[in-house]
Amino acid sequence: MRKTGMKFFPGTLNIQLDQPYHLPKNVIRLEKEEYGGTVSVSIIPCQIFGRDAFILRTDKNNTESGDHPKTIIEIACDVKLRELYNLKDNDLIEVEISDVRFI
């Protein structure tokens, strides 16, 4: 919350992209020691359904040695997006990052 201003709902919404998403150079970093976790994470602000949210990418996923390839982005928000917007697998979702949009 200190770095994002948002208390995240526990869990992320995973979105499959048609092409890999590469992190920008200026990301928010959350080191594992800061929150007592096991992985460090890069955080990128975004919007989904007009709500502020964040793309989270673990260092392992960024080097493609983790659970997800770069074609998957994990969205963290203050609500359970899947439930609030009645999302189902294979629904098309729009995520906005600055002037870049992924559908």
Residue 35 has a pLDDT of 86
Residue 103's pLDDT band (cuts 50, 70, 90): very low
Cβ atoms of residues 3 and 28 within 8 Å: yes
As a whole number, mean pLDDT of residues 30-45 equals 93
pLDDT tens-place string over residues 4-27: 999 999 999 999 999 999 999 889
Residue that has been written with the tokens 């009645």 in this structure = 86
Tell me the CA distances in angstroms from 21 to 2, 9, 14, 61, 90, one per residue in order.
26, 23, 13, 11, 18
pTM of the full structure: 0.90
